[in-house]
Amino acid sequence: MGRFDAFCQSCGMPLDQDPGKGGTNQDGSRSSIYCSYCYADGQFRDNFTSADQMVAFSRSKLKEMGFGPIRRWLFTLHIPMLGRWKKKW
């Protein structure tokens, strides 16, 4: 089990806090790696092409939710290390 397996591999949200209980694959089954906010019907729900875009989006959402700057930074720090964004060498 990897260090970030309990988190959405796109946005970093803890999967156990996803109200949709995970995104959906193309066949309708639940995704075990992406949340319902990021993934539906086997496709990403956003058009982001970089981790920086996801970080900026997530920080703006966290700000709307009332989180301060330190928490926003802390909660998004690991996004570039998640499966969707991690560079494949």
Q: What is the pTM of this model?
A: 0.88
Decide if 89 is inside a domain: no
Cα(50)–Cα(88) distance, integer angstroms: 13
If residue 43 lies in a helix (H) or strand (E), which one and from where to where? Answer: strand 43-44
Q: Residue 68 domain-assigned?
A: yes
12-71 pLDDT per residue, tens? 999 999 999 999 999 999 999 999 999 999 999 999 999 999 999 999 999 999 999 999
Confidence of residue 88 (pLDDT cuts 50, 70, 90): low
Q: How far is CA 7 from CA 14, 48, 63, 67, 89, in A?
A: 4, 18, 20, 19, 22
For residue 59, what are its two tokens? Answer: 């920080």
Domain assignment of residue 73, given as a range: 15-81
pLDDT value of residue 89:
44
**Is 27 inside any structural domain?**
yes
Q: Give, rounded to a whole angstrom, the gap between the first and last alpha carbons of the chain.
A: 21
